[in-house]
Amino acid sequence: MTNFKEEFKNRVTFAIISHPDAGKTTLTEHFLLHGGVIRQAGTVKGRGSSRLASSDWMAIEKQRGISVTSSVLQFNYGGKRINILDTPGHEDFSEDTYRTLMAVDSAIMVIDSAKGIEPQTKKLFQIVSKRHIPIFTFFNKLDRDGRPPFDLVDELEKTLGIEACPINWPVGSGQILQGVYDLQNDRLVKYAGTKDFDQSVFDESMEEIELLKDAGNHFDEEKIKSGKQTPVFFGSALADFGVVELLEDYLKYAPAPSAKQTVNEEKIEPQDDRFTGFVFKIQANMNPNHRDRIAFVRIVSGQFSHGIEVTLASNGKKIKLNNVTQFLADEREQVQNAVAGDIIGLYDTGNFQVGESIYTGKKRVEFEPLPTFTPELFSRVVAKDVMKQKSYHKGINQLVQEGTVQLFQSFHGQEYIIGAVGQLQFEVFQFRMANEYNSQVVFEPMGKKIARWLDPNDVDESMNTSRSILVRDRFGDPVILFENQFSLNWFKDKYPKVALQRKM
């Protein structure tokens, strides 16, 4: 047994967020390379035979050749044990991506320096920033011609509403990239790919740096810790330039796991003797032969040991944790030693649901619920085979409980409407209904809607129009699905006293 009361302090649990193609996978790969986990780059998402093909779990992922669901990687660097929670970078990302961000203590945001802030970067940033956790920024692809650095930093601050504090500054880019200037140690870190040193490029950057020193933000550790300021790095993941510097600086400031709030007054500290954690994601059918599911648990306190008995907060059920896995970068291993900050995977036969709290000891521990996210895409759904209503309802209820999609019902009557953050959730839902519940479903897409919740006392049947559809969520709370911003504004004018709320 290790001393878990000390051990958790060297855990760093984070996610890399980015718009697709900004370089998240390449950066992850180079982190693993420096962590000694892989020996050469190009092996993480090999797009062919890959070492981490084990993260291509579901058949649908294989069909589409993309990573649908978040995976977890663990490796050691500089005396720290690092857990990277991967968030799918595809356009069709889903609520899983958002929920994964509830299990991290900090984040690195990767931005393509030729493109700047892209839509998905912004969405993911907004979710992370609501948690007031540190966010580091990496402007990637400096080996290519990019936008002027001042432009990029300015856009970052304006679009995302966060202070930026450059830690290094590019000296040229693309063909004329000389290196980056390390602002904290006042030195030039040369780019190995530079043939001849170009004094004029250097001088120009030095002028920018003078400006930056006069007018830029000052490095403020407190602001960084609360997510008010983001340290900014420039580099190239592919050329492995500026990557070690980013990693090392990041590890210096990345926070260790902290206490987590329960539904009572109580906060659970990582060094608490009780083993506690919460399920942030459930992944089914990792092995099609076994129909197994894995519940991903973020440990909040105590220490995991093989065979411990935990209680499920939702129903008081007691379960012995015998079949548990950890996610080392090269293979899925049986857990040796897991403490606060670590992610473990529990093989599940249907006991867990997303958001479940688990704990040892007699006193009930229930963590604050995971937030619900506002779905943006909607579709009516019906069973193809009316004779199979039972498996249809069972499937829908279970998949909704897992958080695969969100379920709504027409205000009167039984019509099912499902909502999602990304289109892919519908496909996963349809696929799993067919494969796991033997129920073919048919969609009647409703397209994009703006969902807003309202107080049940404010509900008036006349609010239900073709442009504002009144529905109930799965808890029975009223929601209006607006056609577009215009119909939302129209509603606000007509019912100025009705408060409309969005979820996270």
Using CB under 6 A as the binding rule, whether residue 269 contacts ligand G4P is answered as no
Return the DSSP state at 241: B
Least Cα distance to 114 among 188, 191, 170 occurs for 170
Q: Which of 236, 283, 372, 468 binds ligand G4P (CB under 6 A)?
A: 236
Q: In this structure, what token pair is assigned to residue 441?
A: 């479903």
Distance CA 165, CA 161 (A): 13
Main-chain phi, psi angles of 72, to 5 degrees:
-125, 135
Distance CA 388, CA 433 (A): 12
Least distance from C-beta 56 to ligand G4P, angstroms? 14
Distance CA 68, CA 155 (A): 30
Q: Which of the ranges 15-23, 124-132, 371-379, 459-467 carries the binding residues for ligand G4P, by CB under 6 A?
A: 15-23
Q: Which of the ranges 6-14, 235-243, 388-396, 481-489 carries the binding residues for ligand G4P, by CB under 6 A?
A: 235-243
Using CB under 6 A as the binding rule, whether residue 123 contacts ligand G4P is answered as no
51-58, long-range: CB < 8 A, 24+ apart? 51/330, 52/329, 54/331, 54/332, 55/86, 57/283, 57/285, 57/286, 58/283, 58/284, 58/285, 58/286, 58/428
Distance CA 406, CA 323 (A): 30
Residue among 25 and 379 whose Cβ is closer to ligand G4P: 25
Least distance from C-beta 20 to ligand G4P, angstroms? 5
Using CB under 6 A as the binding rule, whether residue 255 contacts ligand G4P is answered as no
Residue among 178 and 285 whose Cβ is closer to ligand G4P: 178
The Cα-based distances of 381 to 194, 378, 396 in angstroms read 58, 10, 10
Least Cα distance to 365 among 270, 278, 257, 256 occurs for 278
Q: Which of 7, 12, 15, 24 binds ligand G4P (CB under 6 A)?
A: 24
Residue among 87 and 372 whose Cβ is closer to ligand G4P: 87
**Element counts in the chain: helices (H) and strands (E):** 12, 30
**Under DSSP, is residue 396 helix (H, G, I), strand (E, B) or coil?**
helix
**Under DSSP, is residue 79 helix (H, G, I), strand (E, B) or coil?**
coil
Q: Which of the ranges 22-30, 304-312, 354-362, 455-463 carries the binding residues for ligand G4P, by CB under 6 A?
A: 22-30
Q: Which of the ranges 76-84, 210-218, 232-240, 392-400 carries the binding residues for ligand G4P, by CB under 6 A?
A: 232-240
Q: Which of 9, 10, 20, 376 binds ligand G4P (CB under 6 A)?
A: 20
Using CB under 6 A as the binding rule, whether residue 388 contacts ligand G4P is answered as no
* Cβ 43 vs Cβ 113: under 8 Å: no
Residue among 47 and 195 whose Cβ is closer to ligand G4P: 47
Residue among 23 and 134 whose Cβ is closer to ligand G4P: 23
Q: Which of the ranges 18-26, 131-139, 310-318, 480-488 carries the binding residues for ligand G4P, by CB under 6 A?
A: 18-26
Using CB under 6 A as the binding rule, whether residue 240 contacts ligand G4P is answered as no
Q: Which of 88, 89, 242, 395 binds ligand G4P (CB under 6 A)?
A: 89
The residue behind tokens 């209904």 is 433
Residue among 50 and 217 whose Cβ is closer to ligand G4P: 50
b (16+ CB within 10 A) / e for 206-237: eebbeebeeebbeeeeebbbebbbbbbbbbbb
Amino acid at 77: Y
Residue among 142 and 358 whose Cβ is closer to ligand G4P: 142
In the region spanning residues 134 to 153, those forming contacts with ligand G4P, defined by CB under 6 A, are 140-141, 143-144
Q: Per-residue x/- mask for ligand G4P, residues 344 to 373, rule CB under 6 A?
A: ------------------------------
Q: Which of the ranges 114-122, 230-238, 264-272, 277-285 carries the binding residues for ligand G4P, by CB under 6 A?
A: 230-238
Element housing 201 (H / E):
helix 199-215
Least distance from C-beta 94 to ligand G4P, angstroms? 16
Q: Which of 13, 26, 120, 325 binds ligand G4P (CB under 6 A)?
A: 26
Least distance from C-beta 17 to ligand G4P, angstroms? 10
Task: Provide the CA 466 distance to its chain's centre, in angstroms.
Answer: 34
Q: Which of 13, 15, 23, 137 binds ligand G4P (CB under 6 A)?
A: 23
Is beta strand 179-182 parallel, antiparallel or unpaired with respect to 187-190? antiparallel
* Cβ 242 vs Cβ 236: under 8 Å: yes
Using CB under 6 A as the binding rule, whether residue 97 contacts ligand G4P is answered as no
Least distance from C-beta 137 to ligand G4P, angstroms? 14
Kindly list the residues in this chain that would bind ligand G4P in the complex (CB under 6 A).
18, 20-26, 89, 140-141, 143-144, 236-239
